[in-house]
Each structure stands twice: as C-alpha cells, then as structure tokens.
Amino acid sequence: MFYKVYRKSKLTGNINVMELPISDEDIKLRKCETDSDLRCEFQFLNFSERQFLLSGITLDEMIKCQRLTNY
C-alpha cells in the first residue's frame, strides 16, 4: 500500500507530495532525522525518496535548481 506523504521543500518553500510505501506515522514512530537513520530503517527507499523525507525536495526540484545555477 502506498501513502501520500507531504513535505515542505527547504529549497523552494513549496509543499510537495510523494507516494511512498510508508506512512507519516511509520516515519514518526522511528524518529528518523538523518539519511543514515532512514537508510537503516527504510532500506527499500532510494536516495531521492530519503532526501524527500528529510528536506521536502523532490528530484525534479533538484534538477531544475541545478539547471538554473549552471547558467
């Protein structure tokens, strides 16, 4: 089962959503505050999913930001 998880982006301030196989309650119960914590608790998540949980930044936002800073 997938859940919609909402986070505020630390990059843009936008509220982003990602569908993940974990709920906000699962995340809060495990008290994950670093990428290392998330990697240990949720080994099935990829890097961009973990970064979204920590910072609210989506992969699309990161790519757009990199394009803007490279010009």
State residue 16's pLDDT score: 97
Specify the amino acid at residue 59: L
User: What does the pLDDT look like over 10-69, one tens digit per residue?
Assistant: 999 999 999 999 988 888 888 888 888 888 999 999 999 999 999 999 999 988 888 877
State residue 28's pLDDT score: 84
Cβ pair 59, 41 in contact under 8 A = no
CA distances from 43 to 4, 10, 28, 47, 56 (A): 19, 24, 16, 10, 19
Cβ pair 51, 61 in contact under 8 A = no
Is residue 62 classed exposed, middle or buried when 0-12, 13-18 and 19+ CB atoms within 10 A define those classes? middle
> DSSP 3-state assignment of 18?
strand
Any idea where the domains of the chain sit in the sequence?
A: 3-69
| pTM for this predicted structure | 0.83
